[in-house]
Every structure is written in structure tokens, then in C-alpha cells.
Structure 1
């Protein structure tokens, strides 16, 4: 003997309503996802353009006397003009004065601060064998504390003539950049830290120390080969 189950009309209505709600939610979700993708794709060129303009302005700030710039990348044994597809960590920007004299190089560096990555740009002048400028490109540090790396006059003064002289072997620095507690700086290659923003100022110091140790020797060796007209630097 078999039994037949009968579904009440109200149950059918409830099930139908649930399915309609589910389909509606899925549809809304897909529409939102599509809008997000379209918005991202639509704004990506604008964001890229704004970042490029901000970077260019930062280059002028960290390289005093610069009126024109040119981008290059390190291919492993030579510098070549940027094509636009190179990784950020392999890029370097040369600055030139109105007369075409090399004013120095602007390089990006990244450190890990209290609230995330700190992205900076610094200027290196091979003639002085020193860093001559510093600018924070991206900073998520605590307002009023960690963000002092962008505003504190004493801290920024570190980068007006921070020594990065190349050692006799030509492959390393005489003294790598090191951190000093606020008010305790004694040497030209030390960064005088910020009281209350120790982690942030240490992060900047470590980022600059790592970057300059890698880049300064090769840039110092190749400095005579850079000019506005050259296309590659063997």
C-alpha cells in the first residue's frame, strides 16, 4: 500500500517565494560584481595616470635642481630605458639639470611599518655620495605618530646629506645606513629617529639601508654614462 504526499498550497507558495528571493539575490550579487569590475577597469587608467604624475612630482622634490627626468631599469648587467613593464623594484629615475648635467637618481624603497608597508622615494647624488632628498609615496601609519616621517623637520633633515659613500672595492658602501635614537646621531650615515614613532622611523631606515646597499654601488660606477641623450648604459 503506497502513500501519497500532498503539498499544501501555502507550502508551494512559500517554496516559490523562497526560490524567487534566492534568484533575486544571486542576480543582485552578479550585478554588483559586474559593476565592481567595470568600475575598477574604468578607473584603472586614471589611477595609473595619477600615480605616474605623483611619482614625477616626487622625483623633482628628492633631486634638487632637476628639470628633466628619464626612467631606467637594471637588466642584470646594464641600465636600459624603461619600457613600462618592469617591476617597480628594478626601476631607477635619473634627473638632469637645465644644462643636461646629472643631478642624481631617484629610487623607490619599501619598509614594513606599524600599520603596513611604507613606500618612499629617495634621491641619491653620486657627486656628493649622499642621499639628498626623501619623500613618502604611501603611508598607513597612525596619524599624529607614525606619519611624522612625512612631516617632522628634524627627521626630514636626515636626508639632506646622508652619507652613502662607496667602499674601495666598488661593490659595497663604506658604512651602511643605520638607525640612531632621537638625539643620539653621531655619524653622517645614521638616521636620527623620531620619539613616539620609533617603528615607523626604523622601517624607513631599514628600507633605505637595504635599497642603497644594492643600488648605490652600481649607480656610482655607471654615473658617467648617464645623460639625457643616451639610450642604454652598459
Structure 2
């Protein structure tokens, strides 16, 4: 009986030591990499902002606004030229109605509300189908798909199956609806924000395009 208790104790002690060492190593690795991960995300965001807007000299301070149809805020990044004139605003928008849930997008708008570009930041849509949205909706050779240079104020940003003006991704209507929903959410919130002081504030140097 004593031998069984000793064996059980040894097994428990070994398991505890292994678990403790593993947890310590994981914690160390996390602390070691979290700064690099945060920096990589920041660089990816900066690259997305630059890609969806016309050339700019400075970025103003970012700010958040709550859409009328959601409890989650959108983040705005106003961009200015060398004369501190607003050239556009990048909006980090989203939808939770993708085929596989969340789709996060960086959408760029001119001061008049025209879409200057977009980049899909995050999604889990089906490879080869919904995953094509980043290229599908900016194809210059397909006017029915391409939303660049258009505005939800003058075009109906819904798929044609629902009476809109945009061709859905083949076999990916749900993804297409969700993508357009995210863009429209960004546009509506941007329109509501245009009269807010946040956009007209003096810009703060935060990087730009050469």
C-alpha cells in the first residue's frame, strides 16, 4: 500500500513539474513575442491605410465613432496633404455576418464620400470562394464588381440578387452581402462624422506616403 501511495505521489509531482515548466515556457515565449506581434499589427494597419487612400503627407489623430446600427465602434484615420488639407479618411470597419463570421476591412473615402480603396484585414471565408472578395470588388475590368470610385450615396451597394448594383462573388452571395454591409456601415458613419471636429482638427505627424 505504501508503495502505491509513493508511486501516485511521484506521478502527481512529475505531472505538476511538467505542467509548471510548460506554463512557464509558454508565458516566457508570449512575453518575448507580444511586442513583435503588436508591432507587426501596427505596421500592417499603417500599410493598409496607405494603400486605400490617395498620397498624403500626414495622418491626424485617429478616433472612434459608433455606427447607428451597432454597439461596436469604427476607427477613423484622417489623412492630410502638405497644406493640411484633408485628402481622405481611412475607416476600419467590420461585419459579423460573413459566411464564417467576422470580416474586418480598411476602407478609404475621399472628402466627398467616394471609395478610394479598401483592404480586407481579417476573415475566415471559404478559400477560393468568399476569400476572393479583396480582388473581386476592385477588378477594374469588371465594372459590375468594382466599387472603387463609387459611393453608396449614388450607387446601391447591395448584390444584384437583392436589387442592388453590385455583382456578387460567384457562389458566395453571403460573403458578398456581408462585405458590402461593412463598406456601407463605414460610409454612413463617415458621413455622420464629417461635421464633427475630429476630422477638421489639425493633423498630427504620424507617417505618410512618399
TM-score bracket for the superposition, by shorter chain length? 0.7 to 0.9
Who is 2:32 aligned against?
42
Report the alpha carbon displacement of residue 97 of structure 1 after superposing the two structures with TM.
2.9
Q: Does 1:214 align with 2:189?
A: yes
Matches within 5 A, 1:55-134: 55-74=45-64, 89-112=73-96, 113-127=98-112, 129-134=113-118
Q: Which structure has the larger Rg?
A: 1
Q: Provide the TM-score with structure 2 as the length reference.
A: 0.78
Report the alpha carbon displacement of residue 25 of structure 1 after superposing the two structures with TM.
0.7
**CA 1:27/1:156 → structure 2, altered by over 3 Å: closer, same or farther?**
farther
CA contact (8 A) 1:92 1:107 kept: yes
**CA 1:155/1:195 → structure 2, altered by over 3 Å: closer, same or farther?**
farther
**CA 1:156/1:89 → structure 2, altered by over 3 Å: closer, same or farther?**
farther
Q: Does 1:198 align with 2:198?
A: no
Q: Distance in 2 between matches of 1:162 and 1:121?
A: 16
Q: Does 1:180 align with 2:159?
A: yes
Q: Distance in 2 between matches of 1:28 and 1:228?
A: 53
Helix, strand or coil: the match of 2:50? helix
User: Which consecutive unaligned segments of at least 5 residues does structure 1 have?
Assistant: 1-10, 77-87, 166-174
**CA 1:224/1:55 → structure 2, altered by over 3 Å: closer, same or farther?**
closer
Report the alpha carbon displacement of residue 118 of structure 1 after superposing the two structures with TM.
1.0
**Greater relative contact order (Cα < 8 A, sep 6+):** 2
User: Which consecutive unaligned segments of at least 5 residues does structure 2 have?
Assistant: 67-71, 206-210
Computed over aligned residues only, the root mean square deviation of the Cα atoms, in angstroms, reads 3.1
**CA 1:14/1:99 → structure 2, altered by over 3 Å: closer, same or farther?**
same
Who is 2:208 aligned against?
none
**CA 1:99/1:55 → structure 2, altered by over 3 Å: closer, same or farther?**
same
Helix, strand or coil: the match of 1:136? strand
Report the alpha carbon displacement of residue 74 of structure 1 after superposing the two structures with TM.
4.5
Q: Provide the TM-score with structure 1 as the length reference.
A: 0.71
Aligned length: 195
